[in-house]
Structure 1
């Protein structure tokens, strides 16, 4: 599949392994988005929330990677062949700190949108699934994505309330 718009697949995944790959892409997009927000915000309490959610997204990526290798024998074979070949010394690597400041409410709402999209995608995968372990992994991730939605919803409510905007949450 080709991704002409970030995170939007071209075509329909009709195999379990491709549904898992779509889920991996969704997690990568989320991880990158949360990292961007973390590195471009000056609000410590919001950075702490984003780091918590980002860390869970990284764990989801790992869980989906394990499922992919289990159900795609070639992927598992390539994993075994590759794991000893990639050795990167990160001791001299660094990230450039950007002077960019993000729009906090837009970032939170964008994050909420991403969490909702993830739930929709992952629940769709469950409708065509017949494996118990796949169900268990997706169900656990779905519940955490729903938790992220609630955490971010409270964050935007607190932000809006602090600026005198009335909310109904």
Structure 2
């Protein structure tokens, strides 16, 4: 595994048709990690730059996602909202918002919630492209963090979760 320090500010991601998983690459095309959705289960496994993050969907009508590390130690949770915004609560006390930027769900962002202000900075922006046999996109880190890998994976998970839900609905 190749680790990048500092964490790159731009990543590419891709998946080929009929695959359940996504790969993350740096700008030079070097492998950085992956995210694997299970076909029927409620657990999603991911890894980026050596950081392992798991997502576990809870409930029948899933409104909450538990975020954990490779040892199943809870890192936080996500409160899912249907109409373009979800809230991420990390055990470190940090709060982030996931926000869809367009109705097609081809662009989304992670926004860090700063206490006592409405001027919250955009931390990460995501882009989704679909071609007949391949999904791909870009991720741009706008704000560095000691938890960049974790936040990047959370934002990507949420974007793909909502895209996959929309596909199921037809």
Using structure 2 for the length normalisation, give the TM-score. Answer: 0.27
Structure that is richer in strand per residue: 2
Greater Rg over alpha carbons, structure: 1
The higher-RCO structure (CA 8 Å, 6+ apart) is 1
Using structure 1 for the length normalisation, give the TM-score. Answer: 0.27
